[in-house]
Every structure is written in structure tokens, then in C-alpha cells.
Structure 1
Amino acid sequence: MIQRIQTIYLIISAMVMASLFLWFPTVEGSNGAIIIERNEPVVFGLVFGSIALAIISALSFKIRKRQFVLNRINIILNFVLLGVFVYRSLTLSGETLVSEKGIGVLLPIISIVFLVLANKAIKRDEDLVKSVDRLR
């Protein structure tokens, strides 16, 4: 349901991760040839996994517990992605063709913030449903 605030948060989180994918394109050499580094498949897998989990979580709005668990897995995935970015930025020697230091490293943190906000909204909905069930 699009009118629920946690769905909006999850869509924003997926959009942030999609912008991260656009921010870190495949590194191209000077002659236009594609250079794939050793960590590139890991980064792309983590980014696509995070986008997929956010979309699946947004679509499973009827089962709030599953949505909550998927968001927690997504938060862990984003922390792993952040760790990969920090490791790569610390092991870089100088500047590469595509700068990997900057706002792109902060995008997983922004995604984590929106996922936490979505989990708080899901928890609030779950508490509301439990309180209504108590009154019956």
C-alpha cells in the first residue's frame, strides 16, 4: 500500500541504492575498455541485493513481521556494503579514473536511516493492531 509511510521509506531506500549503482559505474579504461576489479562483483551484488530486498519488503505489506525481518537483513547488507566501501577507500593508492571517495560512500548510511524509519513505522502499525485486538 503506497499510502503507508513505511512503503514511502522503503521506496526512498531503493531509490538511494539505485543512485548508488549509478554513482559507481563500471570502471572504464582510457581506451573505453571495461576494467573489472576484484571487488566489483561484490559491490554490485550487495547493491542489487539491497534494492531487491527493499522492493520485496515494500510489496509484502500485508505480512508486517516478514517486512520487519527483510528490513533488518537489508540493514545488515548495507552495513556490509559500507564496510566494503571503507575498506576500498582505505586501500586505494591515490586517485582512480572514477573517484570512489565522496558522497557515494555515504549513500548506504542514508539507506540505513530510511530502513530504520520504516522499521519504526512497521513496529508502530504492529502495536496499533495488537492494541485493537486487545479491545475485542
Structure 2
Amino acid sequence: MIQRIQTIYLVAAFIVMGNLPFVFPLETSSTGVKTFASDHLLDISLFTLSALLSLITIFLFKNRKLQFVLCRLNIILNLILLGLFVYHSLSLSGEVATSEKGIGMFLPIFSIVFLVLANKAIKKDEDLVKSVDRLR
């Protein structure tokens, strides 16, 4: 059923990973130049893959086990993206002036929170179906 609470969480994860990287910068240099996710091919491809995975997961409401697995895979993908951002921020080569980290660096954290909430709701639905099947 598409009107479940996990759909709202997955749509929120889709919006966070699909739209907000173009709005919020990843970092701002000391000269005021903003760096967005679209400036790096790997970053934008991971953001896009995560958004598409969230969108695909929404429409797999009839197969809750696959929906659960894809949600977990999306969480792992977001953790990889977060690790990539940490690596970028810790390995700045030859930068004399420090750059400010933008809110775009924290978008995978927001997405992970929404995906964990969606996973809990999917698990709750699966447990409910199993308990009803036991009674029959």
C-alpha cells in the first residue's frame, strides 16, 4: 500500500538526495566560491543513485522484503557518500585559507535518518503480516 508512513519517509529521502544537493553547497572557499555536488562527477552520481534507489523502493510496496533490503542498501550507499565527504574535508591539499563546510555535507545524514525510519516502518508492517498469517 502506497499510503503507508514509510512512503513519506522514502519521499523525504528522495527529496533530500535528489533536489537539495543543487540548492545547498558542499563547501565555500575563503574567496566565496561555492562548491556544489554537481561540480564533482562521483558526488552527483552517488546522490542520484541514492535518490533513484529511494524512488524505486517506494513502488515495491508489495514486496516488503525486497523493499527492506533496498532500504538497507541505500543506507550503505549514503554511508559511503558520507565517508567520501569526510575524506574530502580531511585531505585538503595545500589550502592556506580554510574553507567553510556547507549544509550539503550533512545531507546524507538526514537521508540516513529518513531511511532508518522507513526501515522500521517496513519491519513493523512485515511483523504485522506475519502475526496475521499465524492466526489463519
* TM-score normalized by the length of structure 2: 0.81
Partner of 1:48 in structure 2? 48
Equivalent residues of 2:24, 2:102 under 8 A apart: no
Cα 1:80–1:13 shift into 2, 3 Å: same
Unaligned runs of 5+ in 1: 26-38
Partner of 1:131 in structure 2? 131
Partner of 1:60 in structure 2? 60
Letter matched to residue 125 of structure 1: D
In 1, Cα distance between equivalents of 2:9 and 2:82: 20
SS for the counterpart of 2:3 is: coil
- Residues 26-85 of structure 1: per-residue CA shift (max 9 Å, x gap): xxxxxxxxxxxxx81111111001000000000111100110010011000000000111
In 1, Cα distance between equivalents of 2:134 and 2:82: 42
Partner of 1:107 in structure 2? 107
In 2, Cα distance between equivalents of 1:42 and 1:116: 24
How far off is 1:130 after superposition? 0.2
In 2, Cα distance between equivalents of 1:76 and 1:102: 22
How far off is 1:24 after superposition? 4.2
Matched, 1:6 2:6: yes
Partner of 1:31 in structure 2? none
In 2, Cα distance between equivalents of 1:21 and 1:58: 23
Instruction: Work out the percentage of aligned pairs sharing the same amino acid.
Output: 60
Partner of 1:23 in structure 2? 24
Letter matched to residue 119 of structure 2: N
Equivalent residues of 1:23, 1:104 under 8 A apart: yes
Count matched residues: 123
In 2, Cα distance between equivalents of 1:61 and 1:21: 29
Unaligned runs of 5+ in 2: 27-38
In 1, Cα distance between equivalents of 2:123 and 2:134: 16
Higher strand share: 2
How far off is 1:122 after superposition? 0.3
* TM-score normalized by the length of structure 1: 0.81
Letter matched to residue 23 of structure 1: F
Letter matched to residue 125 of structure 2: D
Equivalent residues of 1:10, 1:118 under 8 A apart: yes
Partner of 1:28 in structure 2? none
Partner of 2:118 in structure 1? 118
